[in-house]
Amino acid sequence: MKHRIILHCDVNNFFASVECALNPSLKDLPLAVTGEKSKRNGIVLAKNNLAKMCGVQTGDVIFKAKQKCPDLVCVRPHHDMYEKYSKKIRKIYEEYTDRVEPFGIDECWLDVTDTVKFFGTPLDIANTLRKRIKEEIGVTISVGISFSKIFAKLGSDMKKPDAVTLIPYSTFKKQTYHLPLNSVIGIGKRLEVKLNKMNIYTLGDLAGYDEKIIKKKFGVVGENLQKKLQGIGDDEIASAFDYRQVKSIGNGTTTIVDVKNMEEMKSVVMFLCDEIASRLRKKNLVGSTIHISLRTSELTWASKSHTIETLTNTAKDLFDESIKMIEKMWDKYTLIRSVRISVSNLQDETAINQLNFFDKKNNKKQLNKAIDKIREKYGYKSIQPLITKNEEFINSNALRLDDRD
């Protein structure tokens, strides 16, 4: 059986590394990228290796971080530059394969199964990428090479910074089965506690456990995770250039600070719905099915779909329905790391029945058109929903868009 060749490339200390690339005088100093001191989000968002050696951790309040490291230099985040650097790095990846799957802003899986013959061995590709990104971008990456996404990512985590780890199918059990459960993506603290109660402590323990019991206790998610650890399954990474007909329009965001209450959730949801509604209108589309996906801080997913009675492309309609769905699917006690909202069952707005002149919806349509014109002329931030403009969670720049159509 021919196994796939998958690389996982992870930029080391991404935010802090970009700050050092932008200002080389910071390279030899303990550095932390932080939120604003005067606001709730005055915490460490990222740090470099020197700060890490002093015990500084992501999520530390600034004054506590400085107690650990008195010489710590704190800088505010520059998310526009992080996006710019991320795109530059991905362009380099795409020179070696069209199959590039982003995982957040600083990580990507690359499937080089069909292109490896043009560039040497998988190790050759990994080392070339390390060298090029260091020289051309000014940051370093760690690369994991394996036959699946889960073990490629595990490989990139095993040696940092600026390193390559190979985990081939022939030796993956020997290399990984002794490692603790939290070594792989998909096993958070809560799941780890549940598995520990079953005397499952290592990856090998989980891989070798009775499959029927795992499926009964943890459902399809547990079953799939166990199969991945057994080396079963074929990870498909779609081409970045595949043509896709627009069947839905959605936005997703990963928050630097976990969402912990409904007020913060409403800010995130309005931010996403406002963007989605604007894009629907630009394409002259309306939709009726809303899909919500929430990812917890333990990297588990929950999703829900609902079809509303009327077709819409307004932010308020999408927001109201989305919040109703989230209230039913979120227990409010679980921290949320990512939110994705999409709208499907799309129709051409010009093809549906014309609105009556006296219909209140027509007023709403004219208002949205006016908002779109203002933003087109003066920029998106020139007019925003109050819930996103005044909320610190939004102003902290904690949001970033992951995905488009």
Query: What span, in angstroms and rounded, lies between the C-alpha atoms of 7 and 134?
Result: 17
The token pair that represents 118 in the structure block: 């043009």
DSSP annotation of 167 reads: E
What pLDDT is stored for residue 368 in this prediction?
63
Q: Which helix (H) or strand (E) holds 267?
A: helix 262-282
What are 316-355's pLDDT values in tens digits? 999 999 999 999 999 878 889 889 999 988 888 765 544 4
> Is 36 annotated as catalytic?
no
pTM: 0.67
Strand 31-34 versus strand 73-75 pairing type: parallel
Output the CA angle 240-242-247, nearest 5 degrees.
110
CA 204, 152, 186, 162 torsion-angle sign: positive
pLDDT of 263: 87
**What string of pLDDT tens digits covers the 405 residues of the chain?**
688 999 999 999 999 999 999 999 999 999 999 876 555 447 888 899 999 999 999 888 898 999 999 999 999 988 889 989 999 999 999 999 999 988 878 999 999 999 999 999 999 999 999 999 999 999 999 999 999 999 999 999 999 999 999 999 999 999 999 999 999 988 888 889 999 999 999 999 999 999 999 999 988 888 999 999 999 987 788 776 664 556 788 888 877 678 888 988 998 999 899 889 988 988 888 999 999 999 887 767 788 899 988 889 999 999 999 999 999 999 878 889 889 999 988 888 765 544 443 444 445 565 566 666 565 555 555 555 655 543 444 444 344 444 334
Domains and CATH numbers, the chain: 1-169 (3.30.70.270), 177-243 (1.10.150.20), 248-395 (3.30.1490.100)
Model pLDDT for residues 12-32, shown as the tens digit of each residue: 999 999 999 999 999 999 999
- The number of beta carbons lying within 10 Å of the beta carbon of residue 360 is 9
The amino acid at residue 299 is L
Using CA atoms, how far apart are residues 248 and 252, in angstroms rounded to an integer?
A: 13
On whether the CB atoms of residues 89 and 10 are closer than 8 A, the answer is: no
Catalytic residue among 19, 101, 107, 275: 107
One DSSP character per residue, 17-86 reads HHHHHH-GGGTTS-EEEE--TTSTT-BEEEE-HHHHHTT--TT-BHHHHHHH-TT-EEE---HHHHHHHH
pLDDT the model gives residue 349: 75
Q: How confident is the model over 258-276, as pLDDT tens digits?
A: 888 898 899 899 989 988 9
